[in-house]
Chains A and B, each alone.
Chain A
């Protein structure tokens, strides 16, 4: 049930792209023939459409209803905005939003900037590109439980590798996951390690599309390395960068697995409780589906804006 880790419009675009042909239906206009043609076509569609109807479209509608209902021992009743009130009055509510926002900001600093820099560096090298690309993408292929538990051991305050490294270079050892001030950062670092491969590869592909003459022209104007990045690389990859930024925001606002596995969800003093973890708690620990749905709806409303911007941008890029 996880969202695809890459941008739909991106990966689907083939090099020999042509606008879909929207010609008139094939000739043979008699009513029965067209009916038969349509029946066949719908026959091919029916399986997927049924699955979508039951497991996607119906739940979407149901989410909306759930948010305004209360289920008590099988009895469903309308409660209007009560669920929203419950959610708002929960002391964990604001903390969860603060944490989620913190995660998103940190994940943008790391998860957005690091893969871009990594792609820039790999693109500059004349050797070993294949090996480096492979390395960056390897963690993406690990099952999340393996990657996350691995990091749990690396963070361990007793025998963790990370504190060893810190000790070796003279930095004070940290309580990583046990320290409320550090726990979210620790989650972000693990999450970045696990997930950055996809983004890095997409940036790399974008970088390879920049015409070299632009750099030459910039050099003639006396631009140094940083100016070239600023005035050529970034403008040339602007669209893909903004698409990935939106993707990142949408994905990170929904973070669940990493904090759930690393810190049990809430973390020290609730410092890693995220909005989705709160939804999970309402639904599966407190059996309050109404409150979970209401909170989900809030998240949906917030992210809808980003989604709409994403769709608009990817359309613009399509043309």
Chain B
């Protein structure tokens, strides 16, 4: 599958080219590993060091002291179990809401084609053009006192779940995928007397597994990575997410314990990524970019 790139294969085949290639290759792999993995290695290993070693100069590459206790301490002192549980709760709740409401909306816009459907889609997509940070203040005020329903959602999971549904990007992604499902397939189902709900469940959703996977990962990672919004809407320490909780406790704990906490907070998304990297990367670069 080797397609031609900048450097011609003939040039690479020559002895000089070969040497140059392997030198560059080694250099690039080393540099990338150091730059991208280095800080993470430092983080994981420093989590095992004792208080003196972690601030020692020059830093030790392999921890001399071995204190897995830091991890236990971080777990207890910072109540990582609680923060982790909260974050999971918010992330999977947001996922559920997005899967149900956004999929239904995209399905309706793509296949059921209601009156004003185009206008509604347009208004949804328009939200992508408004800088997100500009809306933080009015959104926060809305959460304080939801119009019509007159509820204060501060410190409730709803403050995370419901706004996460307003993800025009997801709806767009889903709609584009649904658009590509042949109309004949759905017509046949409706001919057999299937209701729109039944068609969605039995035909559209099974075909759409890849896109549902991508949307799900983005939904979870989105909540996992968010900082400003949960900081504003979940001021109660017992309800906070990992990001916010660690941030607010970061000044009170010893460096090595905090670093151990950072490692543990990073693990879940890193593991998700390593398992689903193929889906994530294809979701990112989905579609041949025209060249």
* B207 proximal to A (CB < 8 A): no
Report the minimal beta-carbon distance from B29 to chain A, rounded to whole angstroms.
6
Given A209-B291, A293-B138, CB of A51 within 8 Å of CB of B281: no
Q: Which residues of B contact A58 (CB under 8 A)?
A: 138, 142, 147
Given A10-B289, A133-B281, A141-B272, CB of A254 within 8 Å of CB of B105: no
Q: Is the CB of B288 within 8 A of A209?
A: yes
Q: Size range of the interface on B?
A: 35 or more
* A116 proximal to B (CB < 8 A): no
* B80 proximal to A (CB < 8 A): no
* B92 proximal to A (CB < 8 A): no
With the chains together, A91 CA to B226 CA distance in Å?
30
Q: Is the CB of B243 within 8 A of A150?
A: no
With the chains together, A6 CA to B21 CA distance in Å?
32
Task: Give the contacting residue for B104; candidates A14, A16, A48, A260; CB below 8 A.
Answer: A48
Best-surrounded residue of B29, B244, B259, B284 (most CB of chain A within 10 A): B284
Q: Is the interface of B mostly helix, strand, loop or mixed?
A: helix
Report the minimal beta-carbon distance from A50 to chain B, rounded to whole angstroms.
9
With the chains together, A66 CA to B134 CA distance in Å?
12
Report the minimal beta-carbon distance from A241 to chain B, rounded to whole angstroms.
11
Task: Give the contacting residue for B131; candidates A11, A135, A303; CB below 8 A.
Answer: A303
* B19 proximal to A (CB < 8 A): no
Over the window 167-202 of chain B, the binary record of Cβ atoms lying under 8 Å from chain A Cβ atoms (1 yes, 0 no) is 111011100110110010001000000001000000
* B81 proximal to A (CB < 8 A): no
Q: List 15 A-B contacts (CB under 8 A).
A: A10-B289, A11-B283, A44-B196, A52-B166, A55-B166, A56-B166, A59-B138, A123-B5, A131-B29, A138-B36, A153-B46, A154-B42, A164-B57, A237-B291, A307-B129
Q: Which residues of B contact A (CB under 8 A)?
A: 2-8, 12, 21, 24-25, 28-29, 32-33, 35-37, 39-40, 42-43, 46, 54-59, 100-102, 104-105, 107-109, 112-115, 117, 120, 123-125, 127-143, 146-148, 162-163, 165-169, 171-173, 176-177, 179-180, 183, 187, 196, 218, 221-222, 224-229, 232, 242-244, 246-247, 250, 255, 258-259, 262-263, 265-266, 269-270, 272-273, 277, 280-281, 283-291
